């Protein structure tokens, strides 16, 4: 049985750890509300752009953008992976990592080469460690998504798609469901999939139902100044908005997962402290009983 001094030192160490996890839990809780507000504020814009792009796919303009053209044989694809910069957020990064690794194996088994883009230190570390073809990256994104910082990294993949070096572009991120639940998502960004289902909405909303009903009809737009300018800008905004929303969702998921993980760590630390305190009391009582027995035994011998 360990001595009283060792147990007291261990109790002090766990108490200090609990102070740290409790502080991190409170910080994550304060950041979580702002992150969720930013994430929810971006959803209406992303939904509206998605609906317009969906209608555009059913129209017959005189100009057809490369983003709208499906390519039959895929020889190379791109994957954009969104992770966190820091750890201590439960299984958030582990879940999206598992999805990406499985997809990489599937593409490699089909003879399709993959080039990757990473947002966040954890994604960069993973892709570098496994020897993936990392063509662009952006780290230290902070607590607020900044579109200007995201555009440079994603433009590398978009340019390669337009020039035919890759035949499809995929996005791997985490969808925020609620504070206790976050789900990894893997969706095709380019070429634009049919229907353009919203990956960041739960269930079928009224807007989605409306889109499904209207999808049976054709769309005829009047373009000003011309179809090419409007479609180019619209589809560019669609891709940018999708990536921005994915980063915002991931940041909200990160703070929620970190708060839950730190609360669990604090609760576990409190439980360990209680168990150590019980061991400490038993050890101290045994030491006192032993000393009394020695005193009594010595007095009886005299």
Examine the fold and report which residue of 219, 235, 252 is the final residue of a domain before the chain moves on: 252
Any domain includes 37: no
Output DSSP code: residue 89: S
Q: Who's near 158: CB < 8 A, 6+ residues apart?
A: 169, 190, 239
| Residue 267 and residue 191 share a domain | no
Domain at 164, CATH number = 3.40.1380.10
pLDDT tens digits, 71-129: 777 788 999 999 988 888 888 888 999 999 999 998 888 888 889 999 988 888 888 99
Q: Is residue 69 part of a domain?
A: yes
Instruction: Indicate the average pLDDT of the chain.
Output: 80
Model pLDDT, residue 283: 82
Q: Convert 181-213 to b/e letters by CB count within 10 Å (16 or more is b).
A: ebebbbbebbbbeeebebbbeeeeeeebeebee
Range with lowest mean pLDDT among 103-107, 209-213, 263-267, 293-297: 209-213
174 and 288 co-located in one domain: no
Together in a domain, 290 and 165: no
Residue span of the structural domain in which 49 resides: 42-252
Asked if residue 54 and residue 9 are part of one domain, the reply reads no
| Residue 237 lies inside a defined structural domain of this protein | yes
Provide φ and ψ at 177, rounded to 5°: -100, -60
* pLDDT band of 178, cuts 50, 70, 90: confident
The answer to whether position 34 is within a domain reads: no
d(CA 33, CA 26): 12
Of the residues 236, 252, 268, which one is the last residue of a structural domain? 252
- State the pLDDT confidence band at 59, using cuts at 50, 70 and 90: low
Q: Are residues 105 and 247 in the same domain?
A: yes
> E strands within 120-261?
133-138, 168-178, 181-190
**Total tally of structural domains belonging to the chain:** 2
The CATH number given to whatever domain includes residue 265 is: 1.10.287.80
C-alpha to C-alpha distance for 35 and 250, rounded to whole angstroms: 9
Q: Residue 61's pLDDT band (boundaries 50, 70, 90)?
A: low
> Are residues 25 and 169 both part of a single domain?
no
If asked whether residues 109 and 220 sit together in one domain, one would say: yes
pLDDT at 205 over 60: no
User: Residues 9, 137: one domain?
Assistant: no
Half-sphere CA count of 237, side-chain side, radius 13 A: 15
Last residue of a domain, one of 252, 269, 287: 252
How far apart, in Å, are the Cα atoms of 168 and each of 191, 192, 236?
A: 6, 9, 15
Specify the range with the lowest mean pLDDT, choosing from 133-137, 235-239, 291-295: 291-295
Residues 24, 159 within the same domain: no
The predicted structure's pLDDT at residue 214: 44
Residues 11 and 95 in one domain: no
Classify residue 35: in a domain, yes or no. Answer: no
**Residue 199 placed within a domain:** yes
Cα distance between residue 283 and residue 280, in whole Å: 5
Q: Is residue 36, in this structure, part of any structural domain at all?
A: no
Q: What is the pLDDT of residues 127-154, one digit of tens each?
A: 899 888 888 888 888 878 888 888 888 8
217 and 118 in a common domain: yes
Pair 112, 77: CB distance under 8 Å: yes
- The verdict on residue 99 lying in a domain is yes
Instruction: Count the residues in the chain.
Output: 302
pLDDT band at 218 (very low <50, low <70, confident <90, very high): low
Q: In terms of domains, do 151 and 271 share one?
A: no
Give the pLDDT band of residue 167 (cuts 50, 70, 90). Answer: confident
């Amino acid at each position: 049985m360990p001595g009283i001094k060792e147990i007291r030192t261990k109790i002090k160490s766990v108490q200090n750890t609990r102070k740290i996890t409790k502080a991190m839990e409170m910080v994550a809780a304060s950041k979580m509300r702002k992150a969720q507000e930013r994430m929810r504020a971006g959803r209406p814009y992303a939904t509206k752009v998605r609906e317009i792009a969906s209608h555009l796919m059913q129209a017959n303009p005189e100009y057809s953008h490369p983003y709208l053209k499906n390519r039959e044989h895929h020889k190379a694809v791109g994957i954009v992976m969104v992770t966190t910069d820091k750890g201590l957020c439960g299984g958030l990064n582990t879940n999206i990592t598992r999805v990406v690794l499985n997809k990489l194996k599937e593409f490699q088994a089909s003879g399709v080469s993959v080039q990757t883009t990473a947002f966040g230190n954890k994604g960069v570390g993973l892709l570098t460690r496994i020897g993936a073809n990392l063509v662009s990256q952006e780290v230290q994104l902070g607590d607020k998504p900044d579109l200007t910082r995201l555009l440079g990294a994603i433009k590398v993949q978009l340019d390669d798609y337009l020039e035919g070096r890759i035949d499809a572009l995929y996005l791997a991120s985490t969808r925020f469901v609620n504070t206790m639940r976050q789900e990894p998502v893997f969706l095709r960004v380019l070429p634009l999939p049919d229907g353009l289902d919203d990956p960041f909405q739960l269930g079928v909303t009224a807007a989605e139902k409306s889109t499904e009903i209207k999808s049976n009809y054709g769309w005829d737009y009047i373009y000003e100044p011309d179809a090419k300018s409007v479609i180019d800008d619209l589809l560019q905004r669609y891709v940018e908005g999708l990536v921005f929303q994915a980063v915002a969702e991931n940041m909200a998921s990160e703070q929620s997962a970190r708060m839950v993980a730190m609360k669990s760590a604090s609760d576990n630390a409190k439980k360990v402290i209680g168990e150590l305190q019980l061991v400490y009391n038993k050890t101290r009582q045994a030491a006192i009983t032993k000393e009394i027995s020695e005193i009594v035994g010595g007095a009886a011998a005299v």
